[in-house]
Structure formats: structure tokens, C-alpha cells
Amino acid sequence: MPAVEIPAGEMSAGDVLIRDYLDMLAAERGAAANTLAAYRRDLADYLSALARGGHDPVAMEAAPVRAYLADLETRGLSAASAARRLSCIRGFHRFLYAEGLAEDDPSAPIGGPRRVRALPKVLSVAEVDRLLAVARQGATGQGTTEDGAAGDGAAARARGTRLLCLIELLYATGLRVSELVALPRAAASTKERYLVVKGKGGRERLVPLTEIARSAMRDHLAHLRADGPWLFPADSESGHLTRQSFARDLKTVAAAAGLRADRVSPHVLRHAFASHLLQNGADLRIVQELLGHADISTTQIYTHVLDERLKSMVRDLHPLMDA
């Protein structure tokens, strides 16, 4: 049974956070309707408990999360149900943290039945090349439109050029998707070889720009007809392209490139940016700065890349390996 939608005018601040999180799950991860309905119920119950205790989900510590999980036990929830609820809560808080809406993730130190942290999905360099090749075809008007139909003419080229610009920028910079879609129009005309990005918590960081990315922005700007302050304007509440629209278009390109749609999302390209840098010798601290992570522990999800690189170095360089 589908979840009952709350009219926008009647939404509380918590309802808006839940809506945005579920929108991301639907657009970027292809979550099914039943999954979204279950998550909506779980999060509504969780935020109601926080509200009764006077806690704000975007500014809190781990104690209220632990108290909520303890309360679930007194309600008679099975261990499996509690673990699923904790997984939902963790995903929600990670989303708030990743989007810059919260300074910390209070669920991070909470122990659960399983503490194995999943490795990020990563595309290979060859797979990113295939994705970009299809996007470049679309920029010439030879690709597909958002509904999968063949496109031609100026409108199709403008859509294709925009999408190519988004993909080139994301893979070149590792921006969060929320930072990418909200770039100002002035970013396309900068003479500098970097962008100044205001990220999570209002912190600014420098993001180097490749010449390919700068060229993609200039091409996109040349095809842009709409006025306004945004590099990617759209008919939306914010005035710029939404993360959901970009995620849908990206999956269309992924399918045309022969990649499974569930393996490709804006966040996966951000992971590819970081992993490919580390594979080629970048320092973990530098990648931390480029990604805008406040804490090195967040960047350490990529240590499996470093482990493989170190093994390779020892195998290739140690004088006794061939002995």
C-alpha cells in the first residue's frame, strides 16, 4: 500500500528531510515503492521520538539514537527488525551529513548486529570512458533524450551538452551532486583553473578544474538560452537542476553505454574520482580536501584502494620478491 503523501504546505521540517532523503533513494538507487513506504514509516516514528525528547536530527549526538534503539527493544521488535530500523536511520543521517545539512553523523558510533562497512561502488576508468563517449555523442544531438527517444536539433544538442558538462565536471572535480547542480553561471566563465566551492557547513574549498571540464562548461554556456544566476537552470523550486533529474539522465546514458543502471549514480562518479586518484598515487589527505570531508575517517572508506596499491608496490619493487 503506497505511503500517504503530505501536502507541501503541511510539511514539518522533519517531513521535508524525510522527503528529500526518499527522493534521493528513488532517483539515485532505484528504491522500490514498498521500500520507500517502509522507510517513510520508520523515519516518521524515529523523528517523532526525537521530537518528544526535544532533539533536532540535524544537530544531535549519539545518545538519542541509542535511546531510541533501546526503546525498540522494549516494544518487542525482533533483532532483525531493529537492525533494519538502524540501517534506515544510519542511511538518513549519512544523507544529512553528506548534503551538508548536519555537522556530524550521530549514528556512526552506534554498534549494531553487523559492523561491516560496505565498500563504495566504483566504476573502472574504462567504464567512465564509455560513459563519457556516449555523453559526447549526445552533445552532438546523436544521443537519446530523457525519455529514450532519438533526439535531433538545437534542443537535443543543448540537453546533451548540459549532460556532458555535468558528467565531465563531476568526474573531474568529485563535487557532491548538491554542489554540482547549484554551481553559479559565473563558474563557466572563470579564467582560473579552479573553482571555489562552498560545501558542507559553509566551508569553502578549492577544486582544481581540468581543461576538458572548462571546455565542457564553455560549450554548455554557449547552448544555454535561459537567463538567471545558475549554470544549470531548470523549472524547479530552487531554480536550478535537481539532483533527481540529473540522476535519471545519467542512468539513461549509463544504459546506452552498456552499464547497469543500478551501478551508476552521481555519487558513484564522485567515488570514481576519489578512487582513480588514489590508484594513481594521490595522497589520502589530498583526496580528503578535494572531497570536502571534515574528518579523514570519512575518506578512509577508500583505504582498500591504498591497500591494493601498497601490495602492488611491494610486489613490483621489493628486491626479494623474485628471489
Q: What is the DSSP letter of 175?
A: -
CB-based contact 172:166 (threshold 8 Å):
no
Which of 176, 214, 220, 251 is catalytic? The answer is 176
Q: Is 29 a catalytic residue?
A: no
Q: What is the DSSP letter of 62?
A: S
Query: Residue 104: which of 270, 254, 293, 248 has the closest Cα?
Result: 293
Q: Which residues pair with 233 in a beta bridge?
A: 240
Which of 157, 214, 270, 271 is catalytic? The answer is 270
Which of 40, 55, 220, 267 is catalytic? The answer is 267
CB-based contact 275:291 (threshold 8 Å):
no
Angle, alpha carbons 154-159-228 (nearest 5°): 95
Give every CB contact of residue 318 below 8 A, 6+ residues apart in sequence. Answer: none
What is the C-alpha to C-alpha distance for residues 303 and 223, in angstroms, rounded to an integer? 41
CB-based contact 275:302 (threshold 8 Å):
yes
Q: Is 267 a catalytic residue?
A: yes
DSSP secondary structure, 186-246, as one string: GGGG--SSEEEEE-GGG-EEEEE--HHHHHHHHHHHHH----SSBSSB-SSSSSB--HHHH
Which of 200, 240, 271, 276 is catalytic? The answer is 200
What is the C-alpha to C-alpha distance for residues 6 and 18, in angstroms, rounded to an integer? 11
Q: Is 293 a catalytic residue?
A: yes
Q: Is 302 a catalytic residue?
A: yes
Q: What is the DSSP letter of 143?
A: S
Q: Is 270 a catalytic residue?
A: yes
Which of 93, 185, 251, 293 is catalytic? The answer is 293
Alpha helices for the chain (secondary structure H): 13-29, 33-52, 63-74, 79-98, 125-139, 153-173, 177-181, 211-223, 243-256, 266-279, 284-291, 296-299, 303-317
Residue with cell 573553482: 195
The residues annotated with a catalytic role in the active site are 176, 200, 267, 270, 293, 302
